[in-house]
Amino acid sequence: MINFEALGLNLNKDYLGNTGINSNEKGSDLSIFGNNSSNTNEAANSDTISLASSLKSEESRVQSENNNILSDAFQNLSGNITDKVAARLIQNAMNVSNKNFRLNLSDVVDLPSVNGVNGGSVQFAISGISEKGISIIGILSDIATASISGQVANSSSVVSSSSITVPFDDEILKQEILKYLSANNYTNVIKSMQPGETRVLEFDENTGEPVIWATKESGGNTKITIQKEGINISLDFTSDDKEFSKLTQADEKPEEKSNKDK
């Protein structure tokens, strides 16, 4: 999962999904423009209602324009995620601490420079990796301003968000997973497994739950499943995967080797 707080964003369902006024956000309580007591002036109430309506309309406009800005930014970003970049991102993700799934995209790919309608900024982050590709989310926060009768209200709750999944070559995924398995000696564990057997290769260091496991199937295939936080992958390695077979093939028994030599 993305660590939104690490991105400097305090997001909740209201914050993301409500294009209207979020009374939990500082500066958006429009009661400051009117008096809710019994002697409230009707004109002041009217101004406050008009301001609220104007602000909501402005929020919708800003959000709509920001959605278009994000769409253009994603096209730019996806074009920069080549197979080489995908390999690096997968490699980095596999080595991230299980409970802190956060990759710095800027270390691997040039991020598009994006400014919102009113000078807001966009944050890009990887939200997950699967066989389908690398999922990336973009969040653009901005400010909507409305004024009436000399009163000005700013709303900081205008957030536009979007996501894309950038596909990559399956072989790249297999190569990077195999590198990880080999570097951690998991290939030796797989080598000792019998058909029909499943073994956990890695546990979450915080919860103790399995995050990587292997199943050696009776037909000769080996299924590798990875469910770290942010990573959801299930791959079948077959006899056609020469490098995997080479690293995981069981050693011949002495008597078998001797019979071959005769």
* Cβ burial, residue 206 (10 Å; 0-12/13-18/19+): exposed
**Lowest-pLDDT range of 37-41, 78-82, 113-117:** 37-41
- DSSP bridge partners of 153: 146
Split at pLDDT 50, 70, 90, the class of 251 is low
Angle subtended by helix axes 83-94 and 170-183, to nearest 10 = 30
Q: What is the mean pLDDT of residues 78-95?
A: 89
Angstrom CA distances, 219 to 174, 201, 213, 216, 236, stand at: 19, 21, 18, 8, 11
Q: What is the pTM of this model?
A: 0.70
**pLDDT at residue 224 is higher than 60:** yes
Q: How many CB atoms lie within 10 A of CB 3?
A: 13
The proportion of the chain whose per-residue pLDDT surpasses 70, expressed as a percent, equals 76
Residues in the chain: 262
pLDDT in tens, 147-168: 877 788 888 778 999 999 999 9
